[in-house]
A = this chain, B = another copy of it.
Amino acid sequence: MSTKYVYKFSEGNRDMRELLGGKGANLAEMTNAGMPVPQGFTVTTEACTRYYTDGKKIAPEIEAEIMTNLADLEALMGKKFGDPENPLLVSVRSGARASMPGMMDTILNLGLNDVAVEGLARRTNNPRFAYDSYRRFIQMFSDVVMELSKKRFEEIIDDVKAKKGVKLDVELDADDMKQLVVLFKEFYKKEKGVDFPQDPKVQLMEAVKAVFRSWDNPRANVYRRMNEIPYDWGTAVNVQSMVFGNSGDNSGTGVAFTRNPATGEKALFGEYLINAQGEDVVAGVRTPSPISKLHEEMPHVYEEFVDIANKLEQHYKDMQDMEFTIEDGKLYMLQTRNGKRTAAAALKVAVDLVDEGMIDEKEAVLRVEPKQLDSLLHPTFDAEALKKAEVIGKGLAASPGAASGKVVFTAEEAKEWHQRGEKVILVRLETSPEDIEGMQVSQGILTVRGGMTSHAAVVARGMGTCCVSGCGDIVVDYENKQFTLAGKTYKEGDWISIDGSTGNIYGESVATVPADPSSGPFGRFMAWADKYRQLQVYTNADTPRDAKQAVDFGAEGIGLVRTEHMFFEGERIKAIREMIVAETTEEREKALEKLLPYQQGDFEGIYEAMEGRPVVIRYLDPPLHEFLPTKEEDIKEIAGELKITVDRLKEVIASLHEFNPMMGHRGCRLAVSYPEIARMQTTAVINAAVNVQKKHPDWKMVPEIMIPLVGEVKELKFVKDIVVATADAIIANSGIAMKYEVGTMIEIPRAALLADEIAKEAEFFSFGTNDLTQLTFGFSRDDAGKFLSYYYDQKIYENDPFAHLDQNGVGKLVAMAAKMGKETRPTIHMGICGEHGGDPTSVEFCHKVGLTYVSCSPFRVPIARLAAAQAAIKNPR
């Protein structure tokens, strides 16, 4: 049987999201539920991938299938493409498996031509509307299909308005619109060398291709990379008969959520515009009315809509985000989907749905995107500082959080300033999908136009970035890079602050305080996550302060203390430099002797902060040259401090030079060369643990010592022997009993390949997936940036493997090693301590391969807890 590439709405259902995209599947589902949906059909995602494998061509059989379905639609609607009496008009919209709002292209009013426009005028008895629709279609088609910028058409409109002496579009009459159509078509022909296509079927096929093409546009690629959407999913195309929200004052269009997407409050939440097309709401050009006002303006429509909204929420058992259009008083549903929401809203909705008996705890845990929790952990304004700060304006509280930064006016500037290390607030009339990268690097986003569902608001919420939208009092002067608000002028570079939870704007920098995630339903929700997860969540922390912070966020231990981070301050760096320039073991030991008390004190502090929880301490890891100066003047100064000649210091620096430091004399290789380093570190760890154990007899101290960069069991054994000899002697003298463990990082491919042997000596494994990724891919993290952009462009790699664990390659090594390690030593405990430890998809992988814990930075601990819970629910062990 040949593949079916086109489905009528009446043929699909919600489970066909992979094939029909989210929009298509839900349109089908609503159709089947008897809801008022303008009918149409969906060209599948498979047609899209076929389009690309066929060299960006639509195969004849797919075109034939589209035409058959078009004919059926004509029959169903009783309208015909290009019909001079009753023309069928359609919208053509993208709809991928995952929602990618604003990322791809849409064309409305398709089917209009010189003949059909007359039919539309006649049927609606509204020539101005008909010609307005036609000129809009020409504009949109030219932009999306033919890459003729919308702006050029706006200039023609401005010309016509100027000649007529009017300022607003609404002041143009039917004849003006007719004239615009003529001018647009002339312009089109001039630019493209051919007439604007009059055959609606040609228009349709070109539009379908344009939607397929838009899957691969730059902003879609950026969005996918940010949201981990695979390139090979492709997008579906929905062809739907048009209904017109702009056909008069008894028409309108709007979007609404069944609950408040910012707070989660259970109440219909949305906006609409009378006499407008859908894009007018989303684009934020006009500021719409709240949905509650519809109750007054069109009570019957409102009631029908409330009824549908409730049904949809009950049906999907989640908060819905719906688009609707009212045509001549009749309601049509254009889309429903699970609504995007803030983290706070996500938590509240999930907990409320459980309390309402709609879903169970496990389902609730699955409902919150782990990465979203990040925004809950971000600072808010300091209450005292806020009292003194003057509110200079107010907009919509579009995305919660508080931010201070310097004003910039374009996404490009935001990126540039950010690269210089500046914090910026991006101030725009309105944002558009092109701005996405600039938005990402901004502390906050402030817009003049647009509501809660405007592009700026939707995207900022998704990013967890604070946003105030629709502050119409602001007058932006892009040219002079300044804006005025409340009589004051703010120039590029001036500090402002915005509060995305209140909509307040401050003309100065305002101090912030850390987030308090324990307020609201956070605690209850995270307790469910902790109940279902099987992975433990540790943190990477080098100081008691970080350790404390992580415990507050729910960390159950420390998976990585980087001991070298303690070596860089004051007297310590001096001592480590003395060690490095030492010419004999004795001199080296003398220098290490000086480091011992610092190191021991640091460990005691961390042990105290962790109150008996597990702490894994990694031994000295970086190459020694990192501790030496490189600049001439520093070399002179430091040679003086070390009481050696400049030449001698330069000699040492030269002798430590490495061609590929990442693969150089570091990690346990240092301990093999200079066992006295491992001896000192062991003394510090065990002394600290003994002291803390004596002070807190109820804690059960079991220091865990981690040997980095092991590639061979004999290497581990060599260092372990030093550790054991040193530790056993100290413990024997301490007068108390204490156990300790010696384990290793698995971060060298060879260690993973020989994990069975290494597990003979290692009591635990910690997968160092940063280095393991570098070595498995054979590219240096510091250098890969230069060529990875080409790889993203060519879709060779879709994700940064340092952000998301490469499950195919690196993951294969991790899985192999975990399996072999367990076979050799069934009691082995295993974790991950690379940056992947806080990445949800990587956490899921760690769960699947049976690790014991993940370790991540303190602020990612809640994310990891939730990701671990979701992994456990989705993949029962």
Binding site for B on A (CB under 8 A): 658-665, 669, 672-673, 709, 711-712, 714-715, 718, 747-750, 753-754, 757, 771, 774-780, 782-784, 786-787, 790-791, 794-797, 806, 808-810, 812-813
Q: Contact between B771 and A750 (Cβ–Cβ < 8 Å)?
A: no
Q: Contact between A780 and B714 (Cβ–Cβ < 8 Å)?
A: no
Determine how close the nearest CB of chain B comes to the CB of A226; give it in whole angstroms.
Answer: 20
Using A660-B662, A776-B750, A777-B748 as known contacts, say yes or no to A672 and B783 having CB atoms under 8 A apart. no
Q: Which of B771, B790, B794, B810 contacts A778 (CB 8 A)?
A: B771
Q: Contact between B809 and A753 (Cβ–Cβ < 8 Å)?
A: yes
Using A748-B778, A796-B714, A810-B750 as known contacts, say yes or no to A661 and B662 having CB atoms under 8 A apart. no
Determine how close the nearest CB of chain B comes to the CB of A54; give it in whole angstroms.
Answer: 15
Q: Contact between A673 and B778 (Cβ–Cβ < 8 Å)?
A: no
Q: Contact between A791 and B711 (Cβ–Cβ < 8 Å)?
A: no
Q: Contact between A664 and B783 (Cβ–Cβ < 8 Å)?
A: yes
Q: Contact between B790 and A664 (Cβ–Cβ < 8 Å)?
A: no
- Give the distance in Å from the alpha carbon of A660 to the alpha carbon of B774 in the complex: 11
Q: Within 8 Å CB of A806, what residues of B?
A: 750
Using A672-B791, A783-B664 as known contacts, say yes or no to A778 and B750 having CB atoms under 8 A apart. yes
Using A658-B783, A672-B794, A776-B750 as known contacts, say yes or no to A711 and B663 having CB atoms under 8 A apart. no
Q: Within 8 Å CB of A669, what residues of B?
A: 779, 787, 790
Q: Contact between B749 and A780 (Cβ–Cβ < 8 Å)?
A: no
Q: Write 24 A-B pairs (CB below 8 A) sorted by A numbering.
A: A660-B662, A660-B780, A660-B782, A663-B663, A663-B783, A665-B786, A669-B790, A672-B787, A672-B794, A712-B797, A714-B796, A715-B791, A748-B776, A749-B775, A749-B778, A749-B809, A749-B813, A750-B776, A750-B777, A750-B809, A754-B809, A771-B778, A775-B775, A775-B778
- Give the distance in Å from the alpha carbon of A810 to the alpha carbon of B751 in the complex: 11
CB closest residue in chain B, given A713: B796
CB closest residue in chain B, given A808: B754
- Give the distance in Å from the alpha carbon of A741 to the alpha carbon of B750 in the complex: 32
- Give the distance in Å from the alpha carbon of A672 to the alpha carbon of B786 in the complex: 12
Q: Within 8 Å CB of A750, what residues of B?
A: 776-778, 806, 809-810
Determine how close the nearest CB of chain B comes to the CB of A700; give it in whole angstroms.
Answer: 33
Q: Contact between A790 and B714 (Cβ–Cβ < 8 Å)?
A: no
**Across the A-B interface, the 6 shortest Cβ-Cβ residue pairs:** A660-B780, A663-B780, A750-B809, A748-B778, A659-B782, A660-B660
CB closest residue in chain B, given A717: B796
Q: Which of B715, B748, B783, B809 contacts A660 (CB 8 A)?
A: B783
Using A778-B749, A783-B659 as known contacts, say yes or no to A672 and B714 having CB atoms under 8 A apart. no
CB closest residue in chain B, given A774: B663
Determine how close the nearest CB of chain B comes to the CB of A133; give it in whole angstroms.
Answer: 43
Q: Contact between A778 and B715 (Cβ–Cβ < 8 Å)?
A: no
CB closest residue in chain B, given A788: B669
Using A750-B776, A753-B812 as known contacts, say yes or no to A663 and B665 having CB atoms under 8 A apart. no
- Give the distance in Å from the alpha carbon of A787 to the alpha carbon of B780 in the complex: 21
- Give the distance in Å from the alpha carbon of A806 to the alpha carbon of B29 in the complex: 60
Q: Which of B715, B771, B774, B783 contacts A665 (CB 8 A)?
A: B783
* Chain A interface SS verdict (over half): helix
Determine how close the nearest CB of chain B comes to the CB of A675; give it in whole angstroms.
Answer: 9
CB closest residue in chain B, given A660: B780
Q: Within 8 Å CB of A664, what residues of B?
A: 779-780, 783, 786
Q: Within 8 Å CB of A714, what residues of B?
A: 794-797
Using A661-B659, A663-B662 as known contacts, say yes or no to A673 and B790 having CB atoms under 8 A apart. yes
Q: Contact between A779 and B663 (Cβ–Cβ < 8 Å)?
A: yes
Q: Contact between B776 and A749 (Cβ–Cβ < 8 Å)?
A: yes
- Give the distance in Å from the alpha carbon of A809 to the alpha carbon of B749 in the complex: 8
- Give the distance in Å from the alpha carbon of A791 to the alpha carbon of B713 in the complex: 12
Determine how close the nearest CB of chain B comes to the CB of A517; give it in whole angstroms.
Answer: 38
Q: Within 8 Å CB of A757, what residues of B?
A: 808
Beyond A665-B783, A715-B791, A748-B776, list 6 extra A-B contacts (CB 8 Å): A660-B780, A664-B783, A714-B795, A750-B778, A753-B808, A754-B808
Determine how close the nearest CB of chain B comes to the CB of A709; give it in whole angstroms.
Answer: 7
Q: Contact between A718 and B778 (Cβ–Cβ < 8 Å)?
A: no
Q: Contact between A673 and B787 (Cβ–Cβ < 8 Å)?
A: yes
- Give the distance in Å from the alpha carbon of A660 to the alpha carbon of B791 in the complex: 19
Q: Contact between A778 and B712 (Cβ–Cβ < 8 Å)?
A: no
- Give the distance in Å from the alpha carbon of A812 to the alpha carbon of B757 in the complex: 13
Determine how close the nearest CB of chain B comes to the CB of A713; give it in whole angstroms.
Answer: 9
Q: Contact between B809 and A711 (Cβ–Cβ < 8 Å)?
A: yes
Q: Within 8 Å CB of A810, what residues of B?
A: 750
- Give the distance in Å from the alpha carbon of A280 to the alpha carbon of B709 in the complex: 51
- Give the distance in Å from the alpha carbon of A747 to the alpha carbon of B673 in the complex: 29
Q: Within 8 Å CB of A791, what residues of B?
A: 672, 715
Determine how close the nearest CB of chain B comes to the CB of A107; give it in whole angstroms.
Answer: 32
